[in-house]
Chains A and B, each alone.
Chain A
Amino acid sequence: MQHSYGYFEEDHLGQIGNVGLWRRLLIFVAPYWKWVSLAVFLSLIVTAASLALPRLIQLAMDEYILQTRLSIDQRVSGLLYLSLIFCGIILIGFVANFLQVIVLEWAGQKIMHAMRQNLFVHLQRLNLSFFNAHPVGKLVTRLTNDIQNMYEMFTSVIVTLFNDGLKLIGIMAILFWMNWRLTLLLSVMLPIMLIITLWFGRLARDAFRKIRTNLARINAFIQEAVSGITIIQLFLREQDTLDRFTDLNRIYYRSTIYQIHIFGLFIPLIEVMGSVTMALIIWYGGREIIQDHMTLGILTAFISYMRLFFQPIRELSQKYSIVQSAMASAERIFQLLETRDVLPVRSDPVVLNDLQGAIEFGNVTFEYDPGHPILKDLSFRVEPGETLALVGATGSGKTTIINLLERFYDPGEGDIKLDGISLKNFDPHRLREQIGLVMQDVFVVPGSVRENILLNLEADDDQLERLVQLSQLSALVNRLPDGLATRIGEGGMDLSAGQKQLLAFARVLARDPSILVLDEATANVDSETEMLIEQAIQAALANRTSIVIAHRLSTIKRADRILVMDHGTIVEQGTHRELMAQKGVYYHLQSLQNDLGRNEVIPAGGRAPVRE
């Protein structure tokens, strides 16, 4: 339920009078100004057409229908002539209306598309720490619902608002031109209506906001109750849950009733104002006719125009709240766009050529949250071609080492060097090209297996075939209906966790990086896949500097050196054999389980009781 996100934050965002916000919006609109102007122009035609109709009826009445000076035939043919014009204007209005909708939709969608794309690209560029601080659900809401909100404003509000404004002015102008005295009298009503509308707009906005927050609360509650239904039932909390829900539901109900009251007052009030205007027209306009200052046709036109006049006013308040919510969305989007959480990149980065792959962490200290250091004054070296295994409990800092090496973050203190050059001197993109990362989590792009292996690389069939073999994917590929062309991911086939792992190895091998980083995870795989993964790891580690967060004993034993981590520091290092002989933390970690069992300590050296 991403829909519930965001409503809580609405309270103080997006004031309609925020000029800065409008200016930023206009930057996105600017490339499409021609289309937007065309839409506005078309909507002017629509308005002009609808305003012309009562005027034409008035002309028909005064010039022909009620005109006794002409012959009947002349009057009928004049009437026919005007009627045909009338018909033409209707058709023009209809066509213009259609075109206006299409043009506006096109421009609006393009603008929103640009904004969405912009935001997506921008977010991708941000530091990982940004993603730690912002839940994915919220970011998704910004890119989808918030953009959608703004779009509503574009199509249904901005142009109609402009249009309505012009319509009101247009009507006043026509009326003034037809009879200025009557119009002047009617315009006494304007300030009264303005005050009522503004006052109402504020009340309506509050009412809508209350409804939305209460509804969001209800939704959040239902969502929790449904996902926690088992617990509720097992704990016998049904009645209690229902009681709490009923309370929330009643609060929501009250806010909807409040809104009904507000609208129940406002809409009839505007209606009364309309009728008062009508009465004024009849009374004052009628007197003007008696005194021959005005014709009957003009009186009719006045009545018709007044009807057109009140329609936009009724809708104004509703549109106001759409704009309000769109502005809040806009502000949230721009806040994200303003986030400048990007790693500093040197303008003249050091070029990476023929990387040896020597890694050096020198007195590195790092913390995600201030005051909670994850790595403390950490120093170690990895020689070219060496395989280093990291072992330690969850939270000991293993993954953080990888994050720093990939330069997802820069260390707080100390420095990390690659072939003797500080990572800060490299362009992170070029750096990451040199590092192959395999994690438990594998991202699959919607596309063929081939695309998924190569991503942005090119390769001929032979090269690809070799990659598939090396990464132990052959068996899988042979089983797939279309081989390498089989579509996987969203809308395609689903791969198992083990198969995805193999895919990740194929990706790394395709890139042939100088450094391999393996965040090995013991995924739940069958023993056949387990063996394939084993072999793929072997292929990937060959002749490469590697850092492995190891869980499989086979990987740990294969490592040239093992670093045992505890709370951000290295507590032991050496080969498996050395460390087991040391009987220290590593030994404890490995034999922990036995120790906790019935004191059946298994001798060091990793020999299990032989089965045979």
Chain B
Amino acid sequence: MKPGGKTDATSHFAAEKAAKEVNPWSAVKVISPYLKRYSIRITVGFLALIAVDFLQLCVPRIIKNAVDDLQAGLATSNRLLVYGAIIIAIALAIAMLRFVWRILLLGFSRRLEMHLRNRMISHILTLDKAFFQRRTTGEIMALATNDLSSVQLATGMGLVAAVDALFMGLAAIGFMAFIDWRLTLMAIAPMPLLAILTRFLSSRLHRRFKRVQEQFSILTEYVRSSFSSIRLIKAYNQETQQAGRFDRLGTTYVRDNLRLAAIYGTLFPLSGLIGNLSLFIVLFFGGRMTIHGTITAGDFVAFITYLFMMTWPMMALGWVSDLFQRGVTSLDRIHALLKEQPALRSPAGAEQGISIRGAISIRSLSFGYPNQPRLVLKNISLDIRQGLLLGVVGRTGSGKTTLCHLLARLYPVPSGQILLDGTDINRLSLATVRGAIAYVPQEVVLFSESIAFNISMGRKDATWKEIEEVARAAAIHDEIMAMEHGYQTRIGERGVKLSGGQRQRLAIARALLLDRPIIIIDDGLSAVDMETEHAIIRSIASYLKGHTCIIVSHRLAPLADADEIVVMEEGRIVERGTHSQLLERSGFYATIYYQQTSLAGASELAGRADAT
């Protein structure tokens, strides 16, 4: 990851956030198609939920009647039995309805999660490199996991709890008011206090929680870097010092957590406190009213039961508003992702099924990355005839990789600057261009599947013979056969760990199997030693007779056989020619060449470096 990349991404997020401050709820339209699609399921679910609430509220009425009967001495054993039977009948109905709403409503949120996740991934797959440079893998992962899960929580349990709490709360208040409205007013008097305090505390809670998470990632990074450099730490006897630093970081983490606990230690018992205060009010004033005969004993008991019923909605409301807040923020971020449009798209009406032979022309190509003033490529002109081998050399940062990326159609280029078989690539569909190129990147990405899967991922129809053939050409076959499961060996965390050189050779084999007219190897053999690199390049060259090859290497020697070599420096082509022509010129190429082949003396080197 480039050091600059991260700050870019954060500032991008900040800008995005500022722009979105207007109305994050607009993001809700992302889920509206699903609300429509599942409207019957949702309606039935909520009806069941409300029915459950209603039935639950009936129970205290029955208890009230029973208590009144008992107090009035009207109760008989049979009558009580009837009351009990009614309660059980209601309970069974509640249980059934509950099961129904859980399946319907929570099931909806899970379906929504699944659809959104599929949609996000299918959208991500269409986005171009510019996007992936702005957003780190971690950020995208966070969207597909944490953000999606807060949306699921908000639309599942959140929505349920909101409807439930609102209905239960209002109904309980209604029932209480039906018994006595003055007592009801007194009972709910402390509740606004809860709302105010909750608001006040939650903003602090969020801030301190963020602080805890930041410290946690500092701690994580510290552990990671310590164990990555364990050899040096041991060599310098720094174990004690490292442990001391870790201790200080950990102590800060403990302190941050305590500061957080001070807030939630107040916030969570608060709803209980307020609920109990209401109970206290009802106990005294309601009790006095009962003594004075204004309400019956049954009324009093029912009142208390209703108050107990209010505790849940009161606790839920704070929780729910928090869930919604998070859900909407997350949805907003997901929305922003779904709104991303790739700058790179197939032109309308591009012909399909064109076959490319492999001649490449580059006409005064200049290129700078989006939002960066510096040009990475300056006025590059190059003709690569079909079937030739072009070597590209140059220092890190000279623009070699960028050139490869542009050829492979990973960034948009101005019209008329890159032509394939004489046609402007902007007039060809993405699939046509990409389908013509087999690309081997510097950083090899393999998938946690079998070796055979990884080699044949571009051509599922490849035969075993073909797979082995390319593995041989990439000089990896013998090593694969030496593994316990041969080509079926799994790669990755649960499988074998491959060396850098093995990974690169697999990537070469994978590209060879594609059998496309153009192959680009972007310093794809940096991890093997020079001798092997050269042998592989030779074998590729003979394997790919008639294909156009572009091979980038930071080492010059392996490219000595190339039909043409271009030397890049600061985005320009500074020299070009065959190996012997370039050596004769005694220019930049020759300097680097002798430097690398270790045959020049150190003083000569210094002199040359100064001269250039």
Contact = CB atoms under 8 A, between A and B. Distances in A.
B580 to A, nearest CB: 5
Contacts of A26: none
A87 B190 CA distance: 14
Contacts of B235: 406, 432, 435, 437
A102 B261 contact: yes
A32 interface: no
B241 interface: yes
Contacts of A296: 67, 70-71, 297
Given A275-B59, A286-B80, A611 B261 contact: no
Contacts, number: 438
A267 B230 CA distance: 51
B265 A101 contact: yes
6 contacts: A60-B287, A94-B269, A105-B261, A148-B216, A253-B113, A557-B601
Given A105-B257, A609-B586, A278 B87 contact: yes
A90 interface: yes
Nearest to A1: B141
Contact of A260 (B88, B107, B247): B107
A169 interface: no
Given A131-B227, A594-B597, A223 B137 contact: yes
Could you tell me the dominant secondary structure of chain B's interface residues? helix
A125 B264 CA distance: 38
A113 B249 CA distance: 10
B386 to A, nearest CB: 20
B91 A593 contact: no
Given A275-B59, A443-B229, A552-B602, A597 B137 contact: no
B96 A66 contact: no
Nearest to A112: B254
B336 interface: no
Contacts of B83: 279, 282-283, 286
A274 to B, nearest CB: 8
A446 B609 contact: no
B599 A607 contact: yes
Interface in B78-113: 80-81, 83-85, 87-88, 90-92, 94-96, 98-99, 102-103, 106-107, 110-111, 113
Interface in B566-612: 579-580, 583, 586, 590, 593-594, 596-602, 604-606, 608-611
B137 A231 contact: no
Interface string B245-283: 111001101100110011011101110110011011001
A1 B280 CA distance: 51
A398 B324 CA distance: 60
A582 interface: no
A140 B227 contact: yes
Given A139-B227, A394-B529, A596-B534, A271 B218 contact: no
Interface residues of A, number: 161
Nearest to A231: B445
A432 B98 contact: no
Interface stretch (B169-177, B191-199, B299-307): B299-307
A557 B602 contact: yes
Given A219-B145, A234-B437, A53 B279 contact: yes
B283 A60 contact: yes
Contacts of A408: 231, 234
A79 B241 contact: no
A1 B240 CA distance: 29
Contacts of A241: 125
A601 to B, nearest CB: 11
B118 interface: yes
A72 B291 contact: yes
A257 B605 CA distance: 69
B464 interface: no
A443 B232 contact: yes
B560 A598 contact: yes
Q: Give the one of B59, B92, B594 with max A CB within 10 A.
A: B594
A416 B165 CA distance: 75
A65 B529 CA distance: 94
B219 interface: yes
B179 interface: no
A287 B77 contact: yes
Nearest to B304: A57
Nearest to A530: B609
A252 B290 contact: no
A334 interface: no
A490 B222 contact: yes
Contacts of B472: none
A441 B308 contact: no
A222 B460 CA distance: 21
A275 B88 contact: yes
A83 B278 CA distance: 12
Nearest to A278: B87
Given A131-B227, A230-B129, A249-B114, A455 B241 contact: yes
B140 A226 contact: yes
A253 B601 contact: no
Nearest to B507: A231
Contacts of B91: 271-272, 274-276, 279
A175 interface: no
A255 to B, nearest CB: 10
Contacts of B257: 105, 109
Interface stretch (A116-124, A200-208, A539-547): A116-124
Given A105-B265, A120-B242, A260-B103, 13 more contacts: A5-B493, A224-B448, A230-B445, A234-B410, A234-B439, A268-B95, A268-B99, A272-B92, A283-B81, A299-B70, A408-B231, A437-B235, A608-B600
B333 to A, nearest CB: 15
A371 B272 CA distance: 67
A307 B239 contact: no
Given A223-B137, A286-B70, A432-B234, A65 B290 contact: yes
Contacts of A401: none
A279 B250 contact: no
B80 A287 contact: yes
B228 interface: yes
A530 B284 CA distance: 86
Interface in B103-156: 103, 106-107, 110-111, 113-114, 117-118, 121-122, 124-127, 129, 132, 137-138, 140-141, 144-145
A591 B236 contact: no
B419 to A, nearest CB: 19
B117 A79 contact: no
A347 interface: no
A289 B75 contact: yes
Contacts of A50: 272
Given A227-B137, A272-B91, A261 B291 contact: no
Nearest to B612: A527
A105 B301 CA distance: 38
B578 to A, nearest CB: 8
A86 B243 contact: no
Contacts of B236: 432, 437, 455, 507, 511
Contacts of B132: 226, 229-230
